[in-house]
Amino acid sequence: MYASSAPQGHRLSPAPPSSSSNAGRAGASPPVSLLAPGVESDPFPLYRTLREGYPLVRDELLGAWLLSRYADVRGALADARLGPVRAGPGPACRRLLEPALRAAAERTAYVLARRMAGRREVDLVAEFSAWLPAAAAVAALGLPWEEAARVQEWCRTGPAHLGGSHPELGGLLRSHVARRRARPGADLLSVLCGARVDGHALSDETVTGLAGTLLTGGGEATALALASFLANLLDHPAQLELVRARPGLIPGAWAESLRRDPPTHVVLRRATAPIALGGTTLPTGAVVACLVGSAGRDPFRFADPDRFDIFRADPAHLAFGAGRHFCPAATLAGLAAECGLRALLDVMPGLRWAPGFRSAPQGLMARAPRRLLVRPC
């Protein structure tokens, strides 16, 4: 398949067919579709079947070609013949966004965490992870706090991370941009209005675009990833205690959680030219579903892939994509996760699951536990 897609393990393993012998099965129908009942709650048996026997296969129900092995998913994500292209914040703009977002994420995480402290039992999704990304972006931009609820709803329901944006968002931002141009303040929106990138002031359109991306671009993905991150740590109290004692371990723990439980299991790409893969030629326009959730559990890439291990030497996850479409806001998402976890651990010294509670991730395009019932102290 892709040049790097014959990982040694796949070739050496007696059970799964090799990349070249898979060519004969490319195009055969998979035993079950990604849309079959039950797959949303537990896709892992299907992923295993696909990786072992159907590494490139057409899912008629989904209307897409499925790629499930780590090396193939990585290759497809980085393949220039597979779109789409969506504009994200460039490096110069990211340098403007990061400090303001870090400060706002820290403040917001503490506000949300302190509201829960002292209570007997709370749901960390309803009161924390679902709010933090949107509320931190609202705070960083200096928008009224009341807007957080609207923005959070747009993140949750909108097509934002897939390339669209909510129609009301532009109107909201344009009025705030006009006010900041007239009377600048100390917030990020004012900073963007006054910024010069490569010697040029940013146009209203660029400022609104950047602010809009920050508000809704990846808020939902970040919220879901944060929920899975918290669930993984709560499921492993010894690792949670290590992270509490040594916050320097947080980035590795976050990467490991993104490998094991990415918020988007399926990244869709479209062929912009015919592509020969595994003995099959996909026509222009063919939709390829890169199963990032399967790639992260590929045993030929990761030893004991179902295990959550914050000390894994090389998580090398594909949750943010790969190649030229790699998520431009990966650092911003990491900031929200790090600030969120630090605040929770600081404010809730005894944080643990509520008795008898087990988290249950749901969904494929947007996967995470929908409830996280905990005892804060």
The reply on whether position 217 binds ligand HEM by CB under 6 A is yes
Contact residue for ligand HEM among 113, 143, 332, 372 (CB under 6 A):
332
- Of 5 and 22, nearer to ligand HEM (C-beta) is 5
Give the shortest CB-210-to-ligand HEM separation in angstroms: 9
Phi and psi at 38, nearest 5°, equal: 95, -25
* Per-residue binder mask for ligand HEM (CB under 6 A), 38-77, x = binder: ---------------------------------------x
Q: What residues numbered 250-269 form the site for ligand HEM, per CB under 6 A?
A: 262-264, 267, 269
Q: How far apart are CA 364 and CA 27, in angstroms?
A: 22
Give the shortest CB-336-to-ligand HEM separation in angstroms: 7
Residue type at 147?
Answer: E
Contact residue for ligand HEM among 3, 15, 85, 182 (CB under 6 A):
85
The reply on whether position 165 binds ligand HEM by CB under 6 A is no
Give the shortest CB-170-to-ligand HEM separation in angstroms: 16
Which tokens in the block code for residue 12? 């050496």
Phi and psi at 111, nearest 5°, equal: -60, -50
Residue 66 neighbours by CB distance under 10 Å? 25
Q: How far apart are CA 99 and CA 74, in angstroms?
A: 31
Contact residue for ligand HEM among 19, 152, 208, 213 (CB under 6 A):
213
Contact residue for ligand HEM among 225, 233, 271, 289 (CB under 6 A):
225
- Of 16 and 302, nearer to ligand HEM (C-beta) is 302
* Selection from 67, 94, 103 nearest residue 298 by Cα: 67
Q: How far apart are CA 301 and CA 69, in angstroms?
A: 9
- Of 44 and 326, nearer to ligand HEM (C-beta) is 326
Burial of residue 11 (number of CB atoms within 10 Å: 0-12, 13-18, 19+): middle
The reply on whether position 91 binds ligand HEM by CB under 6 A is no
The reply on whether position 321 binds ligand HEM by CB under 6 A is yes
The reply on whether position 329 binds ligand HEM by CB under 6 A is yes
Give the shortest CB-213-to-ligand HEM separation in angstroms: 5
R_g over Cα of the chain: 22
Give the shortest CB-148-to-ligand HEM separation in angstroms: 15
Task: Catalogue the E-assigned strands of the chain.
Answer: 56-59, 64-67, 122-123, 196-197, 200-201, 266-270, 275-277, 280-282, 287-291, 352-353, 361-362, 368-369, 373-375
Q: How far apart are CA 289 and CA 299, in angstroms?
A: 20
The reply on whether position 86 binds ligand HEM by CB under 6 A is yes
**Interface residues toward ligand HEM, by CB under 6 A:** 77, 84-86, 88, 213-214, 217-218, 221-222, 225, 262-264, 267, 269, 319-321, 325, 327-329, 332-333
